[in-house]
Structure 1
Amino acid sequence: MPHLRANTRLYVSPYRRDSPPSPLTPGCNLQEDLIISTPIKTLSVPITSSEIYSTKILNAEHIGSYNSTSDQQPTIIVPAKLPTAAGSPPEWIGHAVPFTLPPDLGPRSSQNNHCNNGSPLLPLMKAVDAIGAAVDWPNVDVVADRNALRKLLWWINKAAQAEDFRIDIELGGDHTLLMSRWRANVTYGSGDWRTFGFGFEESTTRNVKGCEKSTGHYRIIKYDFFGLRMVVRYEVDAYIPSALPAKTKGNSASEREKPTSLAFGEHANNDANTSVSAPLASGTLTSPPLSSRSVDTLDIVHAGREIPQSSIIELTTRSQHFIELLNWPDLYPRLYLSRTRFLCIGLHSHGRFGEIRQYDMARGMETQYNAVRGALQKLGQVLTEIQDLMEENPGRRLSLVCEGGVLRVYERATSKSCLPEDVMKRFVAV
Structure 2
Amino acid sequence: MSFTSSYPGSSRGGYARRRGRDGLARPFAQGREQVKPDIEKHTLGHLLKTFRSADLNAERDDLAHGTTISDCQYIASYNWSNEKTRTIIVPGKPPQWTPLHISQRLEEDSGQYFRDPNAAKYPDHPMAPVVHAILDIDPDFYTTRVDLFACGSTLGNLLRFTRGMDKAFRFNIEMVGNTVFFVRKENDPKELIQNVRGFGHTFPEAYTTWESDVKGSDTHQRIVQYEFGGLKCLVRFESDGYIRDASMSRDSSSDSTAGDEDDLLGALQSATITRPTDRSSRKSDTLKIKHGGSVVPQHTIFDLKTRSGKYKKDIDMNDIYPQLWIKQIPNFIVAYHDGAGLFQDIRVQDVKKDVQRWEKDNKDGIRRLAVLLKNILDIAKNDERGLLEVYCPGADCLEIRSQYGEGAHALPTELSDKWAENELDPDSTHAGASDWDDHASGNVYDSDSGFGYDFDKELDYTACSVEDCGYCGRCTY
TM-score where L is the length of structure 1? 0.76
Go from structure 1 to structure 2 and tell me whether the alpha carbon gap of 1:187 and 1:246 turns closer, same or farther (over 3 Å shift).
Answer: closer
2:298 is the counterpart of 1:309: yes
**Alignment-derived partner of residue 145 in structure 1:** 151
Give the unaligned 5+ runs of structure 1.
6-18, 79-85, 251-281
- TM superposition shift of 1:64: 0.5
Q: 5 Å matches for 1:195-206?
A: 195-206=198-209
Selected match of 2:234 from 205, 219, 231: 231
Q: How many residues align?
A: 370
**Alignment-derived partner of residue 385 in structure 2:** 395
Q: Distance in 1 between matches of 2:89 and 2:163?
A: 36
**Alignment-derived partner of residue 172 in structure 2:** 168
- TM superposition shift of 1:103: 4.4
Go from structure 1 to structure 2 and tell me whether the alpha carbon gap of 1:407 and 1:232 turns closer, same or farther (over 3 Å shift).
Answer: same
Q: Distance in 1 between matches of 2:138 and 2:314?
A: 44
- TM superposition shift of 1:234: 0.8
Could you tell me whether the CA contact under 8 Å between 1:150 and 1:334 is conserved in 2?
yes
2:399 is the counterpart of 1:408: yes
The C-alpha deviation readout for 1:183-222, integer Å capped at 9, x for no partner, is: 44454463xx855322322221122214232111001111
**Alignment-derived partner of residue 357 in structure 2:** 367
- TM superposition shift of 1:29: 2.5
2:181 is the counterpart of 1:178: yes
Could you tell me whether the CA contact under 8 Å between 1:64 and 1:219 is conserved in 2?
yes
- TM superposition shift of 1:87: 0.6
Q: Distance in 1 between matches of 2:133 and 2:274?
A: 11
Which amino acid in 2 is paired with 1:196? F
- TM superposition shift of 1:228: 0.5
Go from structure 1 to structure 2 and tell me whether the alpha carbon gap of 1:41 and 1:219 turns closer, same or farther (over 3 Å shift).
Answer: same
Give the unaligned 5+ runs of structure 2.
8-27, 276-285, 424-477
- 200-209 or 106-115: bigger deviation: 106-115
Which amino acid in 2 is paired with 1:411? S
Q: Distance in 2 between matches of 1:226 and 1:322?
A: 41
Q: Distance in 2 between matches of 1:154 and 1:374?
A: 12
Go from structure 1 to structure 2 and tell me whether the alpha carbon gap of 1:40 and 1:291 turns closer, same or farther (over 3 Å shift).
Answer: same
Q: Distance in 2 between matches of 1:393 and 1:39?
A: 13
- 380-389 or 286-295: bigger deviation: 286-295
Could you tell me whether the CA contact under 8 Å between 1:335 and 1:341 is conserved in 2?
yes
2:329 is the counterpart of 1:346: no
The C-alpha deviation readout for 1:64-87, integer Å capped at 9, x for no partner, is: 100112333221111xxxxxxx01
The structure carrying a bigger strand percent of its residues is 1
Q: CA RMSD in A?
A: 3.2
3-state SS, counterpart of residue 410 of structure 2: coil
- TM superposition shift of 1:235: 0.5
Could you tell me whether the CA contact under 8 Å between 2:210 and 2:256 is conserved in 1?
no
**Alignment-derived partner of residue 215 in structure 2:** 212
2:268 is the counterpart of 1:289: yes
Which amino acid in 2 is paired with 1:410? R
- 141-150 or 90-99: bigger deviation: 90-99
3-state SS, counterpart of residue 344 of structure 1: strand
Go from structure 1 to structure 2 and tell me whether the alpha carbon gap of 1:240 and 1:43 turns closer, same or farther (over 3 Å shift).
Answer: same
**Alignment-derived partner of residue 43 in structure 2:** 34
Could you tell me whether the CA contact under 8 Å between 2:67 and 2:363 is conserved in 1?
yes
